[in-house]
Amino acid sequence: MVQLAHASTTMTVDEFLKQPLPDGKAELVRGELRMTPPAGGAHGVVAGNLLLALASYVKEKQLGRVFPDSVGYELIDLPRTVRAPDISFVQSSRLPEGGIGPGLLKLAPDLAVEILSPSETASRLEEKLEDYRVSGTRLVWVADPERRTVLIVSDDAPVRWLRNNDMLDGAQIIPGFVCRVADLFEGLAHPHSNPI
């Protein structure tokens, strides 16, 4: 069993980066280590579908970089806070001029994507959304594999819910990107079928 040292509200980002962590996703929130269990298959299907669509489009149009959940963002406007969205995007103009070096990105993503999993509580999701807002993330998509919906939280528009045949777009953040919501959930079992 892995022992987590200094798992208190005073953990610094440097201490967080040196932690021997078990499998799963780790974030630092105001100095508190937050662990979530490994994501399930439905989460992976949605992440894969969206990552492929976004990364292909962004690369073709040379708009910036799309990152998987293994990339952490040190949100410098929030003390001792590191977030790792399931998928994220940073526009070219905000990336380091000499390329991306080692360590965390010390900025907020322009787009953060969170894919709900059974371990996600409403209060933790609300906290993430607030962290992204405060730190300057301009667009957040929250995909729900169970309900097959996407919640859109933007800095310049009312909150919206998208369903199956609606079109998800990149707004001003990823201009021209469009994807049918149903395509994000392609490959998932029918909601009423029994899992294997």
Secondary structure of 12-64 as H, E, C letters: CHHHHHCCCCCCCEEEEECCEEEEECCCCHHHHHHHHHHHHHHHHHHHHHCCE
Q: How confident is the model at residue 5 (pLDDT cuts 50, 70, 90)?
A: very low
Residue 51 φ/ψ, nearest 5 degrees: -60, -45
The token duo for 188 is: 């998932």
pLDDT at 49 over 50: yes
Q: Looking at residue 11, what is its pLDDT?
A: 85
Cα–Cα distances (Å) from 147 to 81, 89, 187, 196, in that order, read 30, 24, 14, 19
pLDDT at 181 over 50: yes
Stated length of the chain: 196
CA atoms of 66 and 54, how far apart (whole Å): 7
Question: Average of pLDDT values for 123-137?
Answer: 94
**pTM to 2 decimal places:** 0.88
Q: Are the beta carbons of 77 and 108 closer than 8 angstroms?
A: yes
Cα–Cα distances (Å) from 184 to 54, 89, 106, 146, 173, in that order, read 11, 17, 29, 12, 19
Domains delineated in the chain: 41-71+83-184 (3.90.1570.10)
Give the dihedral sign, CA 172/58/166/40: negative
Which has more confidence, 5 or 153?
A: 153
CA atoms of 104 and 82, how far apart (whole Å): 8
pLDDT at 13 over 60: yes
CA atoms of 43 and 29, how far apart (whole Å): 23
pLDDT at 18 over 70: yes
Residue range 65-92, pLDDT digits in tens: 999 988 999 998 898 999 999 999 999 9
Q: How confident is the model at residue 9 (pLDDT cuts 50, 70, 90)?
A: low
Q: Looking at residue 6, what is its pLDDT?
A: 41
Residue range 103-129, pLDDT digits in tens: 899 999 999 999 998 878 888 899 999
Q: Looking at residue 136, what is its pLDDT?
A: 95
